[in-house]
């Protein structure tokens, strides 16, 4: 059994990670850290884990984390980069669910996250943890940067079109909606029931932190410069992301919907966690709740020049904790689906 540590186990991403790890056949939870809840049983804070996680929260010390084989950081941005060098030196594999190692350019990191990077020398080594793109590199990695939730849904939707040179990479639009859990568990006025319920709003329109990550990922995977308009929205639901993606078919091409459908089906036919829906069937966020699955549909409305891709994920699972476990499985040589092969929740 592999000994696993989780730093920051009190947020929504943290509890989702613990839920998945508790059912993993190859994992023993060595420690779950939290300064604010230190000494309290994990299952007291999260009663859904009663009988599955029977350890207390402990102080996040390097000494205790060094006893682990792999450590997940489900922490705010800027935390993992302070501890990662010492853990890597001790031979511990590190999986960061925040943004500390996603951007390769430290000046870009400082621009978007407002702080100087603590270990820029590790940015080149960190593997971007989107398995559908970097599977082989992840299997060899000791430091993995898990993608953000929006970047996961957007990249998986755009990549087949861009890789095959079907759409103009300078005219991409991502219109994305997220549930309120994407804002985290901290108390904030915008997340209150009376503020978020029966309401729908855009945010980060002038520039969202996930924009440079999406552009970097698309450019790296396709070797093309891309220009993307990315507008996120907050919706009155708890979990889920729905990304509606628009790409303009290049002038000398004329792909039918059936040809586009075949393109996506072939691109993802061997991917255990990407489900391309039948032609004319559109994905719903409820169909991926609690699952490490991205469901995708592609269409060409009125046979016009605009290609529309619909991509849905659970922001806490395939957009965070589930993808982190998927990366762990690859890093440690487990079956990629271990601990993740379960159906979504309904209703």
The residues annotated as belonging to the active site are 149
Structure-token pair, residue 63: 């000494």
Q: Of 94, 95, 86, which is closest to residue 119 (Cα–Cα)?
A: 86
Structure-token pair, residue 29: 């939870």
CB 18 within 8 A of CB 34: no
- List residues bridging with 244 in a β-sheet: 175, 310
- Interatomic CA distance for residues 82 and 84, integer angstroms: 6
Round to the nearest angstrom and report the end-to-end CA distance of the chain: 34
CB 108 within 8 A of CB 116: no
- Interatomic CA distance for residues 18 and 13, integer angstroms: 9
């Amino acid at each position: 059994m592999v000994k696993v540590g989780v730093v920051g186990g009190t947020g929504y991403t943290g509890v989702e990670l613990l839920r998945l790890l508790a059912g993993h056949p190859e994992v023993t939870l060595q420690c779950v850290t939290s300064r604010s809840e230190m000494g309290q049983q994990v299952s007291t804070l999260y009663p859904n884990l009663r009988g599955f996680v029977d350890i207390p929260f402990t102080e996040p010390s390097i000494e205790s984390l060094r006893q682990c084989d792999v450590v997940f950081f489900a922490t705010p941005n800027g935390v993992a980069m302070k501890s990662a060098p010492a853990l890597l030196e001790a031979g511990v594999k590190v999986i960061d669910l925040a943004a500390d190692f996603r951007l390769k350019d430290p000046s870009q990191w400082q621009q978007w996250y407002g702080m100087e990077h603590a270990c820029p020398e590790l940015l080149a080594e960190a593997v971007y943890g989107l398995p559908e793109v970097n599977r082989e590199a992840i299997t060899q990695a000791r430091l993995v940067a898990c993608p953000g939730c929006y970047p996961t849904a957007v990249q998986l939707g755009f990549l087949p079109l861009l890789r095959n040179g079907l759409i103009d990479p300078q005219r991409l639009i991502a219109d994305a909606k997220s549930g309120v859990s994407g804002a985290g568990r901290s108390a904030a006025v915008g997340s209150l029931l009376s503020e978020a319920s029966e309401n729908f709003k855009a945010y980060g329109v002038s520039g969202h932190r996930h924009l440079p990550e999406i552009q970097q990922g698309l450019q790296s995977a396709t070797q093309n410069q891309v220009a993307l308009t990315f507008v996120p929205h907050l919706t009155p639901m708890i979990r889920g992301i729905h990304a509606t993606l628009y790409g303009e078919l290049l002038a000398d091409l004329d792909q039918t919907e059936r040809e586009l459908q075949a393109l996506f089906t072939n691109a993802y036919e061997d991917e255990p966690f990407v489900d391309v829906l039948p032609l004319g069937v559109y994905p719903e966020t409820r169909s991926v709740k609690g699952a490490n699955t991205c469901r995708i549909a592609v269409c060409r409305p009125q046979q016009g020049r605009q290609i529309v891709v619909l991509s849905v994920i659970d922001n806490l699972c395939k957009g965070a904790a589930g993808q982190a476990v998927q990366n762990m499985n690859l890093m440690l040589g487990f079956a990629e689906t271990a601990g993740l092969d379960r159906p979504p929740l309904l209703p």
